[in-house]
Amino acid sequence: MFHSNYSFSPKKIQPIIKYLALTIATFSIFFTLIAPFIKINFPLFLLLSKLGISKGLIYQFISCFFVTFEYGLSLGFLVKLMFCLYIIWIAGENLIVNTSKIQFAIFYFGCGIFSSLAAYLVEFLGYPLYLHSGLSCLVFGLLTSWMMFNTTSQIILFFSLRIPIKWLVSATIGISLLSDFSRSDFVSFFATLAAIIFSYFFTLIVWKMRSPFNFLQKFEIKLLNIFYSNLFKTKTKIYDFKTGKSLNDS
């Protein structure tokens, strides 16, 4: 069976990705640098918090996934920021090429806001002082959709080790969720889970791209047929990526 190999860097960068990455990097580095030197709780205005929303700062549902934050610059902060920007680059470019800039923007903001709502619900129920940065959560949503667009692709590590994207992404997501759960960071845990769920169903229903896991095949085909048959009164055709045959009768 043929498996395409995925490059670590796209051939070009779309303007929307360039401006998005520049905005995130600028906000994140600037506010991380100045936070230790100011007296007021400045991150309150940017990150999602129960107190901020109660004061009418509704924009935090969006601003929180445009910044990753720490009190003071550190190597760990820079590594985390670079990882997030890199995923936005490779996954964002791939999604734009396969869909459109407008659809990508709808997906990006939809995923971010849905994740923010989940984070706020957890904050409201038991974490009133929590400051939530939603960038990393949204990145896992991007990875989920990217995986569904590249179900049979592989990444080459160390020039010879071939790893299927589906296992690399699944392992990364699993480790992150396990880490959040073990640290009792339930705001980040449920925000990440919400981003993944939104990404999965958006990619499946809107873009009709199925996951690479066979055990979900029947569920996905049934959901697509029910959704499009009932909503649009049409019979949607679902195809197997490996054989090119219709799976509607499976």
| Interval 131-160 mean pLDDT | 89
Is the confidence at residue 2, as pLDDT, over 50?
no
Q: Quick one: pLDDT at residue 123?
A: 95
C-beta neighbour count of 43 within 10 angstroms:
19
Q: Best-predicted range by mean pLDDT among 88-92, 151-155, 156-160?
A: 88-92
pTM value? 0.85
| Interval 156-164 mean pLDDT | 76
Pick the CATH number of 5-212 from 2.60.40, 2.60.420, 1.20.1540, 1.10.10: 1.20.1540
Give the least confident one: 69-78, 172-181, 182-191.
69-78
| Residue 34 pLDDT grade (very low, low, confident, very high; cuts 50, 70, 90) | confident
DSSP code of residue 48: B
Q: Quick one: pLDDT at residue 242?
A: 47
Give CA 73 to chain center in angstroms: 24
Mean pLDDT of the chain: 85
Domain range list for the chain: 5-212, 216-250
Give the least confident one: 20-34, 76-90, 225-239.
225-239
Is the confidence at residue 105, as pLDDT, over 50?
yes
Q: Could you tell me whether strands 154-157 and 5-6 are parallel, antiparallel, or unpaired per DSSP bridges?
A: parallel
| pLDDT tens figures, 189-245 | 999 999 999 999 999 999 999 999 989 989 998 898 888 876 655 555 555 544 555
Order of strands across the sheet that contains 161-164? 5-6, 154-157, 161-164
Q: Quick one: pLDDT at residue 9?
A: 60
| Interval 9-38 mean pLDDT | 84
Is the confidence at residue 7, as pLDDT, over 60?
no
Helices (H), the chain: 15-34, 50-54, 60-63, 75-98, 101-126, 135-149, 165-182, 186-205, 217-232
Closest C-alpha among 145, 61, 173 to residue 109:
61
Give CA 122 to chain center in angstroms: 19
